Structure 1
Amino acid sequence: MVSLLNSPSINHTLLPNASTRVGLCRHGQYRRDISFYVRSEQVPSASNSPCQDRLGRRQLLATGVTIAPWFLLSHHTSTSFAAETKKGFLSVTDKKDGYTFLYPFGWQEVIVEGQDKVFKDIIEPLESVSVNMIPTSKTDIHDFGPPREIAETLIKKVLASPSQKTKLIEASEHDVDGKAYYTFEFVAQAPNYTRHALSAICIGNGKFYTLTTGANERRWEKMKDRLKTVVDSFQIFSV
């Protein structure tokens, strides 16, 4: 693999403390005391009733989620937007950073330090999707190595903590509009749970993009089709 491990920012910028950032645990323990900010566009508001608005906010607070001061701001102030494009999913397009993907309806957008975008199920915190980027001078993902090689490196060095046992299940390559994407499936085992995950990586706009989604192993059979839809939907575009 060329220069991936030699990048001074690969372990800290791509997915800093990645085990906690993508729903895995840090040092074997899931941090349940983390406060997240929920963006307004991910909370459906079918009514303008003040009573219903207050009820919705109380329900969020009951989950332990921290509501940001800008909770009720319109989503048009953001550089990304969500729209329903497939039954059971919402589509996110980030016009500034040049990427788009689907995520399951009902997941909430949360702000996690070091991540560009994160959506997760508040009740099942291991069910999430995250996107991150680091600058790169490379223009082709093949410059970093073949799919299996780069997948193993990312899993061991970035996507799981050193204390976790990891296993790469499969890695493959596909093209979208002439651009190469690597996708891979892996598991990361902690003392009290195992997370089953999927990732997609690609290069464009002078950036190395990584999308990772997953779920607790006990829910993998139920969630795998939805998670595969998420990872397969990831695309980048020129900005």
Structure 2
Amino acid sequence: MASSFAAAAVLLPCLPSTRSRRTTPISASASAKNETRTLSSLNSPHPIPSCFLVPRRNVIATVLSSFILSPQWCHEVAFAQPSTLFREHIDTFDGYTFLYPKSWIQVRGAGADVFFRDPFVLDENISVEISSPSSSRYKSVEDLGPPEVAAQKVLKQYLTEFMSTRLGVRRESNILTTSSRVADDGRVYYQVEVNIKSYASNNELAVMPQDRIPRLEWNRRYLSVLGVENKRLYELRLQSPENVFLEEEKDLRDVMESFRVLKTVD
């Protein structure tokens, strides 16, 4: 019975991990490239065919299935899991478009013009804010001043939104980078990155200061892309916990680069 099979392989048909991470980022101008690894053979005299591939970033396999296949079957059976790519959100009414991770879900009533969130890492999200058409007459994002001045305005807005009435809450903020770029649509866009940490006392009602020990509540990266069209200021906002940002920086920067403002029909 054993002699009738040329090779044996254990395949891992991985389900999405509990954090649903993307296997491969894409940009608006390039197609996805699968990043894969080859399963090692199990004492087989023949190497495992290259078609038996598992996405590199799928780190949790919740189902294990075993198959015994001969190498010549490779062209008939496909085992690679479809890549988790980006989707494009286009708002022709308000005039903007961007890419967002395919696994993220849209949340209604979040206050922004549009809001998407990672369903597993709730502190990771993307939104778009637009200035009122009746109160803004922007001609270019440069009306805000240089990127450094615009960054101060962005940070001030974040801190205003995160104001807390709780006792013992303290916020630390830092502008990390500012930049200006001309995109392929010929428009100028500003990019701003800030870090904000929130500290809170573990015993805010304590009488003695030494009994009110601050602890880190959260540590987040905020990335903004600013653009102007239709006499309005558009801001794409990305929020990510710092530890998640370090893991997904390439994907998040691709989202930033994808943001475009569009001319609307009056």
Report the TM range for the smaller structure's normalisation: 0.5 to 0.7
Q: Deviations over 1:111-160 (max 9, x none)?
A: 13421000011221111100010131121111111111111221122365
Counterparts of 1:106 and 1:120, CA distance in 2: 9
**In the alignment, is residue 215 of structure 1 matched against residue 216 of structure 2?**
no
Matched residue pairs, number?
154
Letter in 2 for 1:198: L
Q: Deviations over 1:60-103 (max 9, x none)?
A: xxxxxxxxxxxxxxxxxxxxxxxxxx961111000101100001
SS in 1 for 2:131: strand
| Residues 1:204 and 2:201 are matched in the alignment | no
Q: Does the 8 Å CA contact 1:134/1:208 hold for their aligned counterparts?
A: yes
**2:68 corresponds to 1:91:** no
Q: What are the Cα deviations for residues 157-196 of structure 1, in whole angstroms up to 9, with x where unaligned? A: 2365245221111100011222110001111111211111
Aligned to 2:40: none
Residue 201 of structure 2 is aligned to residue 194 of structure 1 = no
Question: Secondary structure at 1:228's aligned position in 2?
Answer: helix
Q: Verify: 1:173 aligned to 2:170, yes or no.
A: no
Percent identity of equivalent pairs:
28
Any residues of structure 2 matched to 1:1-239 within 5 Å, and which? 88-135=85-132, 136-158=136-158, 161-162=162-163, 163-176=170-183, 177-191=185-199, 192-239=217-264
The one-letter amino acid of 1:222's match is E
C-alpha distance in 1, partners of 2:93/2:157? 28
Distance 1:110 1:194 in 2: 23
Question: In 1, Cα distance between the equivalents of 2:107 and 2:153?
Answer: 27
Distance (Å, rounded) in 1 between the aligned partners of 2:177 and 2:116: 24
Normalised by the size of structure 2, how large is the TM-score?
A: 0.55
- Kindly name which structure, 1 or 2, has the bigger radius of gyration based on alpha carbons: 2
Q: Check whether the contact 1:147–1:173 (CA below 8 A) recurs between aligned residues.
A: yes
TM, length-normalised to structure 1: 0.61
1:175 & 1:87 partners in 2: Cα distance? 29
Task: Name structure 2 gaps, 5 residues minimum.
Answer: 1-82, 164-169, 200-216
Higher helix share: 1
User: Does the CA contact (< 8 Å) of 2:106 and 2:117 recur in 1?
Assistant: yes
Indicate conservation of the 8 Å contact 2:84/2:103, yes or no.
no
Matches of 1:164 and 1:125, distance apart in 2: 20
Please report the RMSD computed on the Cα atoms of aligned residues, expressed in angstroms.
1.7
Name the aligned partner's letter for residue 109 of structure 1.
Q
Structure of higher RCO (CA pairs closer than 8 Å, 6+ residues apart): 1
Partner secondary structure for residue 187 of structure 1: strand
Other structure's SS at 2:123 match: coil
User: Retained in 1: the 8 A contact 2:87–2:102?
Assistant: yes
Q: Distance in 2 between matches of 1:128 and 1:155?
A: 18
Distance 1:197 1:133 in 2: 17
